[in-house]
Amino acid sequence: MGTPSWVGKFPLARLRNLSAPVSDHSPILLETEVKEKVFQKHQFRFENRWLREPELQPIVEECWTRNRESDVLRRLTLCSKVLDPWGKTVDGNFRTKIRKCKEKLESLRDKYDEESTTKFKETNAQLASLLVEEEDY
Protein backbone atom coordinates (compact mmCIF):
# COMPACT_ATOMS: atom_id res chain seq x y z
CA MET A 1 0.00 0.00 0.00
CA GLY A 2 2.27 2.70 -1.25
CA THR A 3 2.73 5.01 -4.19
CA PRO A 4 5.40 4.16 -6.76
CA SER A 5 7.59 7.02 -5.49
CA TRP A 6 7.28 5.81 -1.88
CA VAL A 7 8.12 2.23 -2.89
CA GLY A 8 11.10 3.66 -4.82
CA LYS A 9 12.37 5.33 -1.65
CA PHE A 10 11.78 2.25 0.51
CA PRO A 11 12.31 -0.79 -1.73
CA LEU A 12 12.98 -3.10 1.22
CA ALA A 13 9.88 -2.04 3.16
CA ARG A 14 7.91 -4.82 4.76
CA LEU A 15 4.50 -4.70 6.43
CA ARG A 16 3.70 -7.30 9.09
CA ASN A 17 0.44 -8.02 10.88
CA LEU A 18 1.38 -8.93 14.46
CA SER A 19 -0.68 -10.80 17.00
CA ALA A 20 -1.97 -9.09 20.13
CA PRO A 21 -2.78 -11.70 22.77
CA VAL A 22 -4.73 -9.41 25.10
CA SER A 23 -6.61 -7.33 22.53
CA ASP A 24 -9.04 -7.85 19.68
CA HIS A 25 -6.97 -5.44 17.56
CA SER A 26 -3.88 -6.50 15.65
CA PRO A 27 -0.90 -4.14 15.50
CA ILE A 28 0.78 -3.53 12.16
CA LEU A 29 4.54 -3.14 11.97
CA LEU A 30 6.10 -1.25 9.06
CA GLU A 31 9.81 -1.92 8.60
CA THR A 32 11.39 0.43 6.09
CA GLU A 33 14.90 -1.00 6.17
CA VAL A 34 16.65 -4.27 6.81
CA LYS A 35 18.41 -4.28 10.15
CA GLU A 36 21.63 -6.18 10.36
CA LYS A 37 22.08 -8.39 13.37
CA VAL A 38 25.01 -7.36 15.51
CA PHE A 39 26.54 -10.17 17.48
CA GLN A 40 27.77 -9.27 20.93
CA LYS A 41 29.70 -11.30 23.42
CA HIS A 42 27.32 -13.14 25.72
CA GLN A 43 27.31 -11.96 29.31
CA PHE A 44 26.02 -14.23 32.06
CA ARG A 45 23.01 -12.99 34.01
CA PHE A 46 21.44 -14.78 36.93
CA GLU A 47 17.66 -14.99 36.59
CA ASN A 48 15.52 -14.74 39.72
CA ARG A 49 13.09 -17.18 38.12
CA TRP A 50 15.74 -19.88 38.60
CA LEU A 51 15.24 -19.63 42.36
CA ARG A 52 12.00 -21.61 41.88
CA GLU A 53 13.87 -24.47 40.20
CA PRO A 54 14.72 -27.36 42.57
CA GLU A 55 17.89 -28.23 40.59
CA LEU A 56 19.48 -24.83 41.24
CA GLN A 57 20.64 -25.29 44.83
CA PRO A 58 22.51 -28.59 44.29
CA ILE A 59 24.24 -27.17 41.21
CA VAL A 60 25.42 -24.07 43.08
CA GLU A 61 26.45 -26.02 46.19
CA GLU A 62 28.46 -28.53 44.16
CA CYS A 63 30.19 -25.83 42.12
CA TRP A 64 30.90 -23.69 45.19
CA THR A 65 32.38 -26.51 47.28
CA ARG A 66 34.37 -27.97 44.36
CA ASN A 67 36.21 -24.64 44.06
CA ARG A 68 36.72 -24.13 47.79
CA GLU A 69 40.35 -22.98 47.37
CA SER A 70 39.46 -20.17 44.94
CA ASP A 71 38.55 -16.63 45.93
CA VAL A 72 34.93 -15.46 45.76
CA LEU A 73 35.23 -13.80 42.35
CA ARG A 74 36.77 -16.93 40.81
CA ARG A 75 34.09 -19.13 42.40
CA LEU A 76 31.34 -16.88 41.00
CA THR A 77 32.91 -17.03 37.53
CA LEU A 78 33.17 -20.82 37.62
CA CYS A 79 29.62 -21.11 38.94
CA SER A 80 28.31 -18.89 36.15
CA LYS A 81 29.97 -21.17 33.57
CA VAL A 82 27.91 -24.06 34.93
CA LEU A 83 24.68 -22.10 35.39
CA ASP A 84 24.72 -20.45 31.96
CA PRO A 85 24.03 -23.59 29.87
CA TRP A 86 21.72 -24.99 32.55
CA GLY A 87 19.69 -21.77 32.53
CA LYS A 88 19.24 -21.98 28.77
CA THR A 89 17.61 -25.40 29.12
CA VAL A 90 15.25 -24.10 31.80
CA ASP A 91 14.32 -20.93 29.90
CA GLY A 92 14.31 -22.51 26.45
CA ASN A 93 11.22 -24.54 27.23
CA PHE A 94 9.46 -21.39 28.46
CA ARG A 95 10.20 -19.44 25.30
CA THR A 96 9.22 -22.40 23.13
CA LYS A 97 5.77 -22.48 24.72
CA ILE A 98 5.25 -18.79 23.91
CA ARG A 99 6.43 -19.27 20.33
CA LYS A 100 4.13 -22.26 19.81
CA CYS A 101 1.14 -20.35 21.19
CA LYS A 102 1.81 -17.48 18.80
CA GLU A 103 2.13 -19.89 15.87
CA LYS A 104 -1.15 -21.56 16.81
CA LEU A 105 -2.89 -18.18 17.05
CA GLU A 106 -1.60 -17.26 13.59
CA SER A 107 -2.94 -20.51 12.13
CA LEU A 108 -6.36 -19.87 13.71
CA ARG A 109 -6.52 -16.15 12.90
CA ASP A 110 -8.82 -16.30 9.85
CA LYS A 111 -10.94 -19.29 10.89
CA TYR A 112 -14.37 -18.47 12.23
CA ASP A 113 -15.99 -21.85 12.88
CA GLU A 114 -16.99 -22.59 16.47
CA GLU A 115 -14.18 -25.06 17.18
CA SER A 116 -11.48 -22.71 15.83
CA THR A 117 -12.93 -19.76 17.75
CA THR A 118 -12.88 -21.80 20.97
CA LYS A 119 -9.29 -22.94 20.34
CA PHE A 120 -8.28 -19.35 19.56
CA LYS A 121 -9.73 -18.10 22.86
CA GLU A 122 -8.09 -20.92 24.84
CA THR A 123 -4.72 -20.38 23.17
CA ASN A 124 -5.02 -16.64 23.64
CA ALA A 125 -5.67 -17.14 27.37
CA GLN A 126 -2.72 -19.54 27.59
CA LEU A 127 -0.47 -17.04 25.82
CA ALA A 128 -1.61 -14.22 28.12
CA SER A 129 -0.72 -16.38 31.12
CA LEU A 130 2.69 -17.23 29.65
CA LEU A 131 3.35 -13.56 28.94
CA VAL A 132 2.59 -12.65 32.55
CA GLU A 133 5.06 -15.37 33.61
CA GLU A 134 7.56 -14.01 31.11
CA GLU A 135 7.14 -10.52 32.58
CA ASP A 136 7.89 -11.94 36.04
CA TYR A 137 10.88 -13.70 34.56
Q: Count CB neighbours of 124 within 10 A.
A: 20
CA distances from 114 to 11, 102, 126 (A): 41, 20, 18
Q: For 18-39, how does the pLDDT look when each residue is reduced to its tens digit (9 = 90+)? A: 877 777 788 888 888 877 777 7
Q: At residue 106, what is the residue type?
A: E
**Mean pLDDT, the chain, as a whole number?**
85
Q: For 93-121, how does the pLDDT look when each residue is reduced to its tens digit (9 = 90+)? A: 677 888 999 999 999 988 889 999 999 99
| pTM (2 d.p.) | 0.46
For 1-137, where are the E strands, in sequence order? Answer: 14-17, 28-31
